[in-house]
Amino acid sequence: MPDPIVITVTAIPDPNTQDTLIVSVDLPTVFLSLDDLDQVRWVCQDGSVEVIFAPTTNPFDPNASSGGQYQTQANGSIISGTLAPGQLNADEELFNSYKYSIVVRSPDGKRAGSLDPRIKGRRRRVYHRSDIDD
């Protein structure tokens, strides 16, 4: 299985408030493929991270009752797993777009912030890696 695509989450204190973090990511939109067995790893050195998908539109889990939340400890990381076929368009060329939220809490728990990036997924390969091309 290929290495996950790493999304680095950064959170800095908002100079205008005492309880808010300004959250950013190095990849605001990530393109994934079922054929490539793509996964995402969210990494944050600035606190604990919660990644939240709406349960019915979680691209990694088609079961609405299992939820769409992934959490880390402070300075940790979390891996998504591969895309769920039932969440993707039947047309292998078309991307589905999934908005999700990233919430970061500072290690002391006094500050928090959020951001809403996107994941785009499809069935057909996105990346043409040499290690799987013949």
In the predicted structure, residue 40 carries a pLDDT above the cut 50: yes
CA angle (4, 43, 114) in 5-degree steps: 120
In the predicted structure, residue 48 carries a pLDDT above the cut 90: yes
The reported pLDDT for the residue numbered 57 is: 83
Structure tokens belonging to residue 73: 């400890």
Q: How many residues are there in the chain?
A: 134
Domains of the chain: 5-122 (2.60.40.10)
pTM of the model: 0.87
In the predicted structure, residue 132 carries a pLDDT above the cut 90: no
Nearest one of 7, 6, 9, 12 to 106, comparing CA atoms: 12
CA distance linking residue 108 with residue 110, whole number of Å:
6
In the predicted structure, residue 104 carries a pLDDT above the cut 90: yes
As separate numbers, helices (DSSP H) first and strands (DSSP E) second, the chain gives 0, 11
**DSSP secondary structure string, 2-31?**
PPPEEEEEEEEE-TT-SSBEEEEES-SEEE
CA distance linking residue 43 with residue 102, whole number of Å:
11
In the predicted structure, residue 9 carries a pLDDT above the cut 90: yes
The reported pLDDT for the residue numbered 129 is: 56
Residues of the chain with pLDDT > 90, as a percent, come to: 71
Task: State the pairing for strand pair 40-44/118-122.
Answer: unpaired
Mean pLDDT on 13-23: 96
